[in-house]
Amino acid sequence: MKSHCNIILGVFLLVLLVVGCASYKISRDNSEKIPSIKTWHIRLTSEYDVFEKALSSDQQEIDKSEESVLLKCDLQLRDKLSYYLKNKYQMTLVSDMAAASGFMRMDAECRWGYYDTLDVTIYDLEENRLAEIEVKNGGDILVKDSDAFAEYCADAIAEVILGL
């Protein structure tokens, strides 16, 4: 009986390790506008920083490659989120902000080889904040890997944008 309980406990802990634990919090401001937005642009906060530096500096800074300034883990998270939003939720994402009717500004924190948090702020083109999502990865041994965390974040975004 005791070994049977140990096996069940071991399986339970293994499931927790594989699945991970994460949570998210949503705050809505003008979310009634969200259903009217059909095309979305995703931008990392660090990408905005690069753009703002280019605007306020000389030509040498403008010529600096955006890729050299952005963190590789942030770019990977953005690409994975885009994949899930396009393929799992059939959202229309565009790379050119001029072609979008709304945008998501994302700030990811990568720590010790995994994503710790992702903050998403959703805007219309007039830069009115429509909603915010704060996603936290599990702590300690209950951390989602990068693919599972990206899918979990996409699920939270889809809940807000698609009303799921």
Question: Residue ranges of the alpha helices (H) in the chain?
Answer: 2-19, 45-55, 59-63, 66-69, 72-87, 146-162
- Picking from 1, 2, 107, 89, the residue whose alpha carbon sits closest to that of residue 44 is 107
Q: Which two tokens stand for residue 159?
A: 């809940």
Q: Where are the domains of the chain?
A: 21-162
**What is the per-residue pLDDT for 1?**
57
Q: Which ranges of the chain have pLDDT less than 50?
A: 9, 11-19, 50-55, 59-69
Q: What is the pTM of this model?
A: 0.71
What fold characterizes domain 21-162?
A: Double Stranded RNA Binding Domain (3.30.160)
Residue type, 160: V
